[in-house]
């Protein structure tokens, strides 16, 4: 019995991996994400210069041998700031999606499992969040709590909660009535155990796909807030912050504002491709479309 169960899981896992590898775009996405993570973790080792070091002679120089991607208006090395910027963007995106996923799936599965008035209350609250255009909600939260990295994480997390709550709720509603849950209940399993052991693994796949796509949105949202001056604050190097300050030099030194945008677009594209690839691999039917 036990042997059988493990072999089936292993073979499906292999299937998913095989299907994912065949999807070239998904692999490209995974590679981009890997490069980003490496850049974020090993930023001090990879950056050719100190991201805060100002070389006044190099102010606004175009890309050259010493400054591969040029220097900004203070003469700071743009490549080094981009590498450190990966750290800021990924920190905000990963923490906010992690908080959103945790709280959202908790609230959603609670709503779906308990049902009744609690379900109504939680889901109406989620509807209220969705009544705001998304950037506006984040702007309200950040302006109420104050600009900065931590509050940006909170604002984006709040915005992701409804999506994860809905996924979790519908998954719980689908699974709740299945025989193996009834069986576990009749064997005397505690409700919390049922939620953790039996329900979670069943919607984990959907959650992984959502998490990857929401990481892409979270990076865009962080960059929007940082561009407006509400997100990650200078002197911390952030991609959108670099664009915002480089905006004043679009005529004399357009590379300052334009190069960091490529980093944002690539990062978002990476998570989008990864999410699409994972969805196709986990749900073979959607891949054929």
Partner 1 sequence: MTAYLIRRILATIPLALGVVLVVTISFDLIPGDPAALMLGEFATPEAVAELRTSLGLDASLPVRYVNYVIDITQGDLGLSLRERRPVTDILVETFPYTFQLAFAAITLVLLVGLPLGLLAASRPGSWIDNVIRVTSLAGLSMPVFWTGIVFMVIFSVNLRWLPVSGTGTWRHLILPAVTLALPSIAVIARMTRSTVLEVLQEDFVRTARAKGVANRSLLYKHTLRNALIPVVTVLGLQLGQMLGGAVLTETVFAWPGVGRLTVFAIFNRDFVLMQGLVLVLAMLYVFVNLLVDLSYGLIDPRVRYQ
CB burial string 157-181: b at 16+ within 10 A, e below: bbbbbbbbbbbbbebbbebbeeeeb
What residues have CB less than 8 Å from 161, skipping those under 6 apart? 100, 103, 104, 107, 126, 129
Residues 77-136 that bind partner 1 (CB under 8 A): 124, 127-128, 131-136
Q: Which stretch binds partner 1 (CB under 8 A): 4-12, 41-49, 186-194, 245-253?
A: 245-253
| Residue 140 binds to partner 1 (criterion: CB under 8 A) | yes
Query: How is residue 15 written in tokens?
Result: 């299937």
The correct pick among 23, 212, 223, 236 for binding partner 1 (CB under 8 A) is 223
Ranges within 187-216 binding partner 1 (CB under 8 A) = 216
Q: What is the DSSP letter of 61?
A: P
Tokens of 117: 């008035």
Check residue 232 and report its DSSP letter.
S
Nearer to partner 1, 57 or 124 (CB): 124
Q: Which of 73, 269, 283, 287 binds partner 1 (CB under 8 A)?
A: 269
CB of 285 vs partner 1, minimal distance in Å: 11
Our CB check for partner 1 shows the closer of 146 and 188 to be 146
Q: What residue ranges bind partner 1 (CB under 8 A)? A: 25, 124, 127-128, 131-136, 139-141, 143-146, 216, 220, 223-224, 227-230, 240, 243, 247, 250-251, 254, 257-258, 260-261, 264-266, 268-269, 272-273, 276, 289
């Amino acid at each position: 019995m036990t042997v059988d169960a493990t072999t089936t899981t292993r073979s499906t896992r292999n299937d998913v991996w095989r299907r994912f590898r065949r999807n070239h775009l998904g692999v490209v996405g995974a590679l981009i994400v890997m490069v980003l993570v490496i850049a974020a973790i090993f930023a001090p080792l990879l950056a050719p210069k100190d991201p805060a070091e100002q070389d006044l002679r190099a102010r606004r120089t175009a890309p050259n041998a010493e400054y591969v991607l040029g220097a900004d208006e203070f003469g700071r090395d743009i490549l080094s700031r981009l590498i450190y910027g990966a750290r800021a963007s990924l920190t905000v995106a990963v923490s906010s999606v992690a908080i959103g996923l945790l709280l959202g799936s908790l609230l959603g599965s609670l709503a779906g499992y308990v049902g009744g008035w609690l379900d109504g209350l939680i889901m109406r609250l989620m509807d209220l969040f969705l009544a705001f255009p998304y950037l506006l909600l984040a702007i309200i939260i950040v302006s109420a709590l104050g600009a900065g990295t931590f509050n940006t994480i909170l604002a984006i997390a709040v915005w992701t909660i409804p999506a994860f709550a809905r996924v979790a709720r519908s998954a719980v509603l689908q699974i709740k009535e299945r025989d193996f849950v009834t069986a576990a209940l009749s064997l005397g399993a505690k409700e919390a155990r049922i939620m953790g052991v039996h329900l979670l693994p069943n919607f984990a796949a959907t959650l992984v796909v959502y998490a990857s796509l929401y990481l892409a949105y979270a990076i865009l949202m962080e960059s929007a807030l940082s561009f407006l001056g509400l997100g990650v604050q200078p002197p911390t190097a952030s991609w959108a912050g670099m664009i915002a300050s480089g905006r004043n030099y679009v005529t004399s030194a357009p590379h300052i504002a334009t190069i960091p945008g490529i980093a944002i677009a690539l990062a978002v594209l990476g998570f989008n491709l990864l999410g699409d690839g994972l969805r196709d691999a986990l749900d073979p039917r959607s891949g054929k479309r």
